[in-house]
Chains A and B, each alone.
Chain A
Amino acid sequence: MSHDEYQIHKAKILTPSFWVLLTLTVIGFALIGVRFIWGIGAVSNLSDGYPWGIWITYDVATGTAIACGGYAVAILIYIRNKMHYHPLIRSAVLTSLFGYGLAGFSVMVDVGRPWNAYNFFVPSQWQANSAMFEVALCVMAYTTVLAIEFLPAVLTRLQETNWSRARAFLEKYHGRFGLDTPVVLEKLEKLRQRAVWLQPKLDKVLIFVIVLGITLPTMHQSSLGSLLLIASTKLHPLWHTGFLPLLFLINCMFIGYSIAILESVISSFGFKRPFEIEQLSGLASITPYLTTIWLCVVVGDLIWRGQVGNALRFDFYSAFFLLEFGLVASGSLLLFSKKRRQSPRWLFITAVLIVLGGALYRFNVYLIGFNPGQGWRYFPSLAELLITVGIVAFEILGYQVLVKLFPVLPRLHGHEVVEKA
């Protein structure tokens, strides 16, 4: 696969939004510090009734679905053989990498005894009955896979560099850190050569890594649904079904495609690049089919379990169910029109509807439909929310900076053709 289809986004790194995001990140991370010194109770409203709150629900269960853009686009490119979506993959992989990496990070904030996490690698402690075990291993493996998938962008950058910034730095501070300029430069040159050596080898095996990157999310996204199977007495019957794994799997795919669209529209807008309409309308033609399957399974399952009455009762639970259902359904209905699929505005609106609906589904399963009984209540505390906001801010910040350092965004030359069309 050729690497000249991507380019570095040449723009200033220290923009105003950079500083805003940095502030939010710093606040979030300071509160994480508080959590590690005074315990989880000091920053959160979590309780023995609601041991999982916004961190697991948003950062992990929803965040990883939102990070499924890389997964969804990879299926399209490598399995459905639509290679012309190729230019979208790197930015999708980068967002996935951030999404998953930070989901893993926030798990470490959330769990009470993170230093014991090494037990996941001790076979005698394995517990194959636990959906959580499966999720944890797959998520760790997938994050590694994503890092490898992103490696080509880093390697290309390394090969093309002449270390001008490093040189300037060394000259300015010559000898001040006890650095010997020629020795350092020699080492950097070695690094560059290693990149030149590694790149073709990586290219050869990359496809097997990519396919692993399609298998792993298939497994753990369905297991994220399985996690709540055990809570048969606590999860509202509107959502507690044996089909949870299947519903979560389809859900992450349509969220994935919609996120790929959103991401592209937003970064085209934010970075003042032309819209990639052709590719996006292609993506948008897939989502309504996935959502239709999903909606059919939801309805069929409700009928089968005799829960339709519950769904239409217009109480608290039914309201959230109908909202989730309505968002996904309206988004996909709108997308059945070809004309709307060609308009950046409609693409944006429908993608937002579907992402919101799909995300609300996960919130419903993990939080809103979850009731441990005995008068337990949960609403996230400000500090808890700020930690989540900080993590998301860090994610966007990282994306903004990395696209300006590495060739991630699609090269622009192809767009004259698109604009004519």
Chain B
Amino acid sequence: MSTKSSRREFLKLAGLAGAGLVTAPAMALAGHPVAGANDEELGMLYDATKCVGCKACMSACKRVNGDYGSLAYEQAKFDPDKLWDAPQDLTGSTRTLIKLVKDTPKEWSYVKYSCMHCQKPSCVSVCPVSAMTKDKITGIVDYNKNTCIGCRYCQIACAFNIPKFQWEKAIPQIVKCDLCKNTNLKQKGISACAEVCPTGAIMFGKRKDLLAEAKKRLAEHPKQYVNHIYGEHELGGTNHLYLAALQFKKLGLPELKSEAPAEFSEKIQHTIYKGFIAPVALYSTLCFIAVRNMKKGSAHTDEQKKNSDGGDQ
């Protein structure tokens, strides 16, 4: 029988299917120039050296976005009267958090955590139902609970561990900063945390202005800062920028390459599925082989049945 030819065909086919899978990573690794960051987008500059840790931004965020983001106040375990809001970390009820990081007994710094509003956000890239979106003009990365299926892929994807999930709720949602897109920004043109900051540690504005300001501060007071604007290049750039006196790694901001992970993964995914050509080609080739084999197969068994009156082939 034609086992040989069908084997050859199988190998050819395996080659076809494998080709995409093999060339894709190679192409992704070859890399393409990363498109420059869009500096017209909105963002914030957080200057840790100006922050006094008053946490006014944290309470403003909850006050303004409580209903919209379905945020609740959090009780600490030692708080029987349930009077304090005492989040330990960003949580399903907390979009921003101030932490005090001690390096040595004499050197310490505050740090504010919230969504970095990446130029090429991983969370948007992976969300299967477009519940995470990036606004084309403002660059704000926003979340829509009405489409989200709660798969938490955005949590896996975000290198900053920003999106949080409401684990304790029967109807949970993802929680993360949306730059007050639908609340304070809409009403007053500025994010709530930046608006209330008493020391000007949070500056709100276009990325280009924030970068210019950051560079100016670095130039004017080089001794005061680590000579790095965190977020300028990290993961292809973020719209939330940082200045600080302590190493950023110590502040819990990971050391990251300037390539966005989404560039890498999307390139591979696109090479495999480009125009849906590979799957369609695979299906039609397989159909061709299978139909031909089946015809041969049934002719073959009929013959055998005749020869060996119905025994096993």
Contacts and interface: CB of A to CB of B under 8 A. Distances in A.
Interface of A: 1, 36-42, 44, 46-49, 51-52, 78-84, 110-114, 116-117, 119-120, 122, 124-134, 136, 207-208, 210-212, 214-215, 218-219, 222-223, 226-234, 241-243, 245-246, 249, 372-374, 414-415, 417-418
B149 A119 contact: yes
21 contacts: A39-B168, A48-B155, A51-B156, A78-B286, A78-B293, A83-B301, A84-B313, A112-B149, A113-B172, A114-B149, A116-B146, A116-B150, A119-B131, A125-B130, A132-B128, A132-B153, A219-B279, A233-B254, A233-B261, A242-B26, A246-B18
Interface stretch (B59-67, B195-203, B216-224, B268-276): B268-276
Interface stretch (B5-13, B181-189, B204-212): B5-13
Contacts of A133: 128-129
B148 A130 contact: no
A6 to B, nearest CB: 14
Contacts of A42: 168
B228 interface: no
Given A39-B166, A130-B127, A232-B261, A373 B273 contact: no
Contacts of A112: 148-152, 165-166, 172-173
B76 interface: no
Most-contacted residue by chain A among B26, B122, B148, B167 (CB, 10 A): B167
A36 B170 contact: yes
Nearest to A206: B294
Nearest to A228: B156
A54 B13 CA distance: 35
Given A130-B125, A207-B290, A234 B156 contact: yes
Interface string B118-156: 000010011111110000000000000111111111011
Given A51-B152, A246-B21, A374 B252 contact: yes
A218 B13 CA distance: 12
B128 A130 contact: yes
Interface string B4-32: 00110010010001100110111011000
Given A111-B149, A112-B150, A127-B128, 7 more contacts: A81-B2, A112-B152, A112-B165, A119-B130, A119-B149, A126-B129, A132-B153
- Main SS class of interface, A: helix
B134 to A, nearest CB: 12
Contacts of A130: 125-128, 153
Given A222-B21, A242-B25, A374-B252, A52 B129 contact: no
A113 B145 contact: yes
B171 A113 contact: yes
Most-contacted residue by chain B among A122, A129, A134 (CB, 10 A): A129
Contacts of B291: 207
A211 B286 contact: yes
B286 A127 contact: no
B312 A373 contact: no
A117 B289 CA distance: 36
Interface residues of B, number: 84
A242 B20 CA distance: 12
Contact of B127 (A46, A127, A212): A127
A304 to B, nearest CB: 9
B300 interface: yes
Please give me the 7 A-B residue pairs with the lowest Cβ-Cβ distance, nearest first.
A242-B25, A112-B150, A41-B167, A414-B312, A51-B152, A229-B265, A113-B150
A242 B172 contact: no
B170 A113 contact: no
A296 to B, nearest CB: 12
B307 interface: no
B24 to A, nearest CB: 7
Given A111-B149, A130-B128, A242-B268, A48 B156 contact: no
A230 B157 contact: yes
B256 interface: yes
Given A51-B156, A132-B128, A229 B264 contact: yes
A200 B313 CA distance: 24
Contacts of A227: 153, 156
Given A114-B149, A127-B129, A233 B172 contact: no
B91 interface: yes
Nearest to A108: B149
Contacts of A230: 122, 125-126, 156-157, 261-262, 264-265
B286 A215 contact: yes
Contacts of A223: 269
A232 B152 contact: no
A204 to B, nearest CB: 11
B280 to A, nearest CB: 9
Nearest to A110: B151
Given A130-B126, A246-B18, A417 B265 contact: no
Nearest to B147: A119
A233 B157 CA distance: 9
Given A119-B149, A128-B273, A374 B161 contact: yes
A213 to B, nearest CB: 10
Given A36-B170, A79-B293, A242 B28 contact: yes
Nearest to B293: A81
Interface string B287-299: 1011101101110
A223 B271 CA distance: 12
A229 B3 contact: no
A233 B22 contact: no
Most-contacted residue by chain A among B127, B157, B168 (CB, 10 A): B157
B68 interface: no
B13 to A, nearest CB: 7
A122 B157 CA distance: 23
B254 A113 contact: no
A249 B293 CA distance: 24
B164 interface: yes
A54 B190 CA distance: 42
B15 to A, nearest CB: 12
Interface string B46-66: 000000000000000000000
A133 B18 CA distance: 21
B254 to A, nearest CB: 6
Contacts of B173: 112-113
A230 B268 CA distance: 11
B78 interface: no
B26 A39 contact: no
Given A111-B150, A231-B156, A226 B265 contact: yes
Contacts of B21: 222, 243, 245-246, 249
Contacts of B298: 1
